[in-house]
Amino acid sequence: MAREWIIFAVCLGLGGHIALAVVLHAPDLWPWSKAWLYGLLSGIALYVVVQVIRSLWWIFRGRNAEETEPPEDQRIGHP
């Protein structure tokens, strides 16, 4: 559970940095008055992307793990 909170906090921090970078480098795109909102939305969007990538990774990894695992009757130590 702590890992999920850490990932969420990192994503929110990166979202804030993305918003800050856009505001500083292109202030005509995002005004300072809305920087907090764009930072929050960027962080949440980044969190969703990270969770989708993690889910796809677990699905892909799970399928490969099942394919490489030997059948039960061929395992070492199986009676």
- The per-residue pLDDT for 74 is 61
- The per-residue pLDDT for 30 is 80
Phi, psi of 3 (to 5 degrees): -60, -40
- The per-residue pLDDT for 60 is 86
Q: Of 27 and 5, which is predicted with more confidence?
A: 5
**22-76 pLDDT tens trace:** 999 988 888 888 889 999 999 999 999 999 999 999 998 877 766 665 556 566 6
Global pTM exceeds 0.75: no
- In this predicted structure, the answer to whether residue 79 has a pLDDT above a threshold of 70 is no
CA dist list (Å): 25 to 33, 41, 54, 62: 15, 19, 31, 42
Integer Cα distance of 41 and 15 in angstroms: 7
Kindly tell me the burial class for residue 15, based on how many C-beta atoms sit within 10 Å of its own C-beta (0-12, 13-18, 19 or more): buried
